Amino acid sequence: MFIRSKTRPFGRQLSTPLVRTLLIALYTLYPLGCILQLMPMTSGGGVMASLAGLALVVGAIGIFAVLAGSSLQRQTQEPENLLDERERIERNRASFQAHSVFSGIVLIGVLYMMLTTDMAANDKLHLWQPTEGAHWNAIFGGLILLSFTLPGAILAFGKTPPEMD
C-alpha cells in the first residue's frame, strides 16, 4: 500500500535511520499492543492493560500511515513503468526476499498450530492458541501490516541511499 499525496507524488523522503526506527517500532508495538489488549484477566490483564494495548496498536497504525506515504513504500508498490531500472531491480529482489520471509513466518505459524492442537488433544501440554475472533483479527491484522511493509523493510535495511547534493 502506497498513499500518494498531491503535494508529494513520489512519496515523502524519509532518512534511512528514521525509516529503520519506524519499522522496528511498528514490528514491536503492534504485537505488544495486541498481547496487552487480549491478555485474559486471569493472566494480569484488565482495563488498564487493554487501554495501553489499544494505545500501542493505534501508535503502530499511525507509524504504518507515515510509512505508507514514504518514497520507500512507493518503490515497492508503484507500477513498473513508473520506476527506473535500479528501482525495479531492487524492488524485485526485495519482493522475492519478502515472499520467502513471509512464507517462512506463515509456515512456522501453521506448524505451531498443528503441534499445539496435537499436544492439547493428547493432554500433554497446553500452549496458547487463538480461540476467539479478536485473536484471529489481531493475527490477520499483523500479517496484513507485515505483508505491506516487508519489501520496504528489506530495502530499508539493505544499502544506505547516497546523500543528495
Partner 1 sequence: MIHNRLSVFRAERNLSRKDLAEAVGVNPQTIGYLERGDYAPSVELALKLAALFEVPVEHLFSLKPFAPLATSLRDPES
- Residues at the interface with partner 1 (CB under 8 A): 83-87, 159, 161-165
Looking at the Cβ atoms of 47 and 164, the one nearer to partner 1 is 164
Shortest distance in whole angstroms from residue 54 CB to partner 1? 38
- Rounded-to-integer distance, Cα 75 and Cα 80, Å: 9
Torsion of CA 120, 125, 128, 129, to 10 degrees: -20
Closest CA to 56 of 29, 21, 28, 23: 29
Shortest distance in whole angstroms from residue 46 CB to partner 1? 49
What is the chain's length? 165
Looking at the Cβ atoms of 88 and 135, the one nearer to partner 1 is 88
Looking at the Cβ atoms of 123 and 165, the one nearer to partner 1 is 165
- Rounded-to-integer distance, Cα 27 and Cα 24, Å: 5
Looking at the Cβ atoms of 6 and 86, the one nearer to partner 1 is 86
Beta strands in 9-160 (DSSP E): none
Phi then psi dihedrals of residue 12, to 5 deg = -80, 130
Look up residue 19 and give its three cell numbers. 525509516
- Rounded-to-integer distance, Cα 100 and Cα 163, Å: 31
Shortest distance in whole angstroms from residue 63 CB to partner 1? 23
Shortest distance in whole angstroms from residue 10 CB to partner 1? 8
Shortest distance in whole angstroms from residue 88 CB to partner 1? 10
Looking at the Cβ atoms of 50 and 95, the one nearer to partner 1 is 95
